[in-house]
Structure 1
Amino acid sequence: MAISRVRSLFSLSKRKSNFNSSLLQLSSLRRFSSSSVPSQSERVGFIGLGNMGSRMANNLIKAGYKVAVHDLNQTVMKFFSEKGILTKDSPFEIAEASDIIVSMLPSSTHVLDVYTGPNGLLCSGNMLRPWLFVDSSTIDPQTSRRLSAAVANCALKEKKDHWETPIMLDAPVSGGVLAAEAGTLTFMVGGLEEAYLAAKRLFLSMGKNTIYCGGAGNGSAAKICNNLALAVSMLGVSEGFALGQCLGISASTLTKIFNSSSARCWSSDAYSPVPGVMDGVPSSRNYEGGFASKLMAKDLNLATTSAQEVSVKCPLASQAKQIYMELCNQGHGMKDFSSVFRHYYSGKDEL
């Protein structure tokens, strides 16, 4: 993602006393009509215009939503401005101009900054203009739940249809940059189910699948579990290819075997880590333009930390985290996570 520095954070400690009451308020909300769906006439503020966010915002624009955008990267802001898209200088300004907020940011720290930092989405107090906040960042479930409670503790400046209080959904995505470009992402959504149903049209403007995961934070939990499995499968596929090459079997041959037998997975049939095997994937362009290894290391850290908090053994996640941290320490953090084939296993290109 393009937001690359962290502004000083407002402490959430002042909000902690409100969190328990907020959760009670959230649970006591009256049931809303699922027919209250957002229309393309609603104003959507999009924050975070990196590899994923810029493409998601572009798909909302194509769908006819009135979109305003914000990012710290002035180059990408200029790009959207030159396309005639409204740009704003801060998250607060985005909130004042929007009915719905969508954020796509690199980490929990960035999300906290955007929501609670100076000129953040919540900096004006407990009166908010947007009725719906959607965070598609991959962050820890605990942060998603705290922010959901903080949003629910606010009131709307203007009532929106049946909604009497602003709502937050955690809605991380799967599919990567290619799916963000094509509008075929899968959204894993946590939060109030009525809000999920109301936001479905919005999600389907950026993706093709939406899965309701339960209460606040469950979307974030689903995403870190998904990425844990993805990281381990990529390591397994890369390890198999590297060993095969050393034993005299070409990656193309192993690809046919994997994909017609029990080793088949997304890393083998849609996202090959071996340069020269598959077109249109990061390995075909020197591992550029995909899901950065540093982000995979970050997600694996979220997974292992969450596992420790609930006393679950995750030895494969722990080993995968160490491998991706090693890649980052060797200077490959910006390369796609499939570059583990080349930079950890010393795998060779397919000739």
Structure 2
Amino acid sequence: MSTVIAFIGLGHMGGPMAANLAAAGHRVRGFDLVAASLEAAAGSGVEPAASAVEAVDGADVVFTMLPAGRHVLALYRDGLLAAAKPGTLFVDCSTIDVADARAAHEAVTAAGHRALDAPVSGGVTGAEAATLTFMAGGGEAEFARAEPLLAVMGKKAVHCGGAGAGQAAKICNNMILGISMIAVSEAFVLGESLGLSHQALFDVASTASGQCWALSVNCPVPGPVPGSPANQDYRPGFAAPLMAKDLGLAANALRAAGVDAELGLRAAALYEDFARGPGAAEDFSGIIRTIRERSARTAEQDTAQNGTTT
């Protein structure tokens, strides 16, 4: 059955997600501050609205895909909730701080509506191919209402618990991913220093206990996995600044919860530096080049020191 949907945020992720909903026969009204994004969505069957408030007028479900929690909260509090009809389901697919997600839930329910946080995994490719994974937090009834729409945009939706649980699952998952990519990259750099070919290490680790997604799908060296960003000069993929953002959210949660997680905090710091520098426009797997360069500098310093001592 067709649903009237408002979709706010039509960028690299939101645009194709809204287009998939429209292609499935739903009426989708969209809005984005970037005119080019709004125009592109209109070409994919999304009805362009003049404002976010106009988009939600009469909608049954409102999806948001925005950069940060402050944008979600500001949008909700600056007219969006007041413009929606009573009982509207608000589904936020942004990746934001757990505390902001819970605050968003409170604002939505206080205004007489229903809320679900449903961040995604799968990147732009997954958004375009409708193969995203959704991690949802909120009530069971809200998840049941949203699930058929999530199924249009993705291949899996998991109800993780109450308000903010979807965001919690997202940052935990991406903390694992960030740490594992660093570990895989360090292993390849070590293998290079020991004369081991990339293919040999891959052939062993991908079928042994070192196997993980960062190795088998997003391998950080060119060759073993033809579809990995390493074969396209580290063109994202999953951009390093997005990984830095997610790990920063994980670091905030770790500190707030008092969790002693040395690797999570260290990974956050490494990706923050990488994203501000050479990784600003690269896939997150490009961090291997930084590890390789730092290793070379360390080796040069050791050689210089040993030479001086001798």
Contact kept? 1:327, 1:344, Cα under 8 Å: no
SS at match of 1:205: helix
The one-letter code sitting in structure 2 at the alignment partner of 1:335 is: E
Aligned to 1:67: 28
- Which one of 36, 46, 63 corresponds to residue 7 of structure 2? 46
Encode CA deviations 1:214-263: one digit per residue, 9 max, x unaligned.
11111111111111111001111111112112222122221111110001
- Which one of 186, 191, 195 corresponds to residue 133 of structure 2? 186
Query: For residues 112-131 of structure 1, what are the structure 2 equivalents within 5 Å?
Result: 112-117=73-78, 120-122=79-81, 124=83, 128=85, 131=88
Q: Take 1:98 and 1:142, find their aligned partners in 2: how far apart are those partners?
A: 27
Q: Take 1:266 and 1:334, find their aligned partners in 2: how far apart are those partners?
A: 22
Contact kept? 1:188, 1:222, Cα under 8 Å: yes
Encode CA deviations 1:63-96: one digit per residue, 9 max, x unaligned.
2211122112211211222344211232212111
Encode CA deviations 1:12-36: one digit per residue, 9 max, x unaligned.
xxxxxxxxxxxxxxxxxxxxxxxxx
The one-letter code sitting in structure 2 at the alignment partner of 1:101 is: V
SS at match of 2:277: helix
Q: Take 1:345 and 1:105, find their aligned partners in 2: how far apart are those partners?
A: 34
Query: For residues 130-145 of structure 1, what are the structure 2 equivalents within 5 Å?
Result: 131-145=88-102
**1:195 aligned onto 2:152:** no
- Which one of 263, 275, 288 corresponds to residue 341 of structure 1? 288
The one-letter code sitting in structure 2 at the alignment partner of 1:134 is: V
Check 1:181–1:96 CA distance in 2 against 1; reply closer, same or farther (3 A cut): same
Aligned pair count reads 294
- Which one of 123, 137, 151 corresponds to residue 204 of structure 1? 151
**1:224 aligned onto 2:171:** yes
Contact kept? 1:136, 1:172, Cα under 8 Å: yes
Contact kept? 2:23, 2:45, Cα under 8 Å: no
More helix by share: 2
- The Cα shift of 1:153 comes to 1.3
Q: Take 2:134 and 2:51, find their aligned partners in 1: how far apart are those partners?
A: 26
Q: Take 1:150 and 1:287, find their aligned partners in 2: how far apart are those partners?
A: 40
- Which one of 213, 233, 242 corresponds to residue 180 of structure 2? 233
- The Cα shift of 1:333 comes to 2.1
Q: Take 2:280 and 2:70, find their aligned partners in 1: how far apart are those partners?
A: 19
Q: Take 1:142 and 1:184, find their aligned partners in 2: how far apart are those partners?
A: 28
**1:267 aligned onto 2:209:** no
- Which one of 223, 228, 243 corresponds to residue 190 of structure 2? 243
Query: For residues 269-348 of structure 1, what are the structure 2 equivalents within 5 Å?
Result: 269-346=216-293
- The Cα shift of 1:122 comes to 2.5
Check 1:266–1:104 CA distance in 2 against 1; reply closer, same or farther (3 A cut): same
Contact kept? 2:19, 2:45, Cα under 8 Å: no
Q: Take 1:81 and 1:261, find their aligned partners in 2: how far apart are those partners?
A: 48
Query: For residues 39-118 of structure 1, what are the structure 2 equivalents within 5 Å?
Result: 39=1, 41-117=2-78
Query: For residues 3-42 of structure 1, what are the structure 2 equivalents within 5 Å?
Result: 39=1, 41-42=2-3
Q: Take 2:45 and 2:69, find their aligned partners in 1: how far apart are those partners?
A: 31
The one-letter code sitting in structure 2 at the alignment partner of 1:301 is: G
**1:150 aligned onto 2:111:** no
- The Cα shift of 1:305 comes to 1.1
The one-letter code sitting in structure 2 at the alignment partner of 1:73 is: V
The one-letter code sitting in structure 2 at the alignment partner of 1:170 is: D
The one-letter code sitting in structure 2 at the alignment partner of 1:106 is: P
Aligned to 1:172: 119
Aligned to 1:4: none
Check 1:113–1:291 CA distance in 2 against 1; reply closer, same or farther (3 A cut): farther
> Where in structure 2 are there 5+ consecutive unaligned residues?
295-310
The one-letter code sitting in structure 2 at the alignment partner of 1:121 is: L
Q: Take 1:49 and 1:325, find their aligned partners in 2: how far apart are those partners?
A: 26
Check 1:47–1:54 CA distance in 2 against 1; reply closer, same or farther (3 A cut): same
4+ aligned runs moved over 4 Å, structure 1:
none
Contact kept? 1:95, 1:121, Cα under 8 Å: yes
**Which segment drifts farther, 87-96 or 227-236?**
87-96
- The Cα shift of 1:288 comes to 2.1
Identity %: 41
Q: RMSD of the alignment, in Å? A: 1.9
> Where in structure 1 are there 5+ consecutive unaligned residues?
1-38, 156-165
SS at match of 2:281: coil
- The Cα shift of 1:129 comes to 5.5
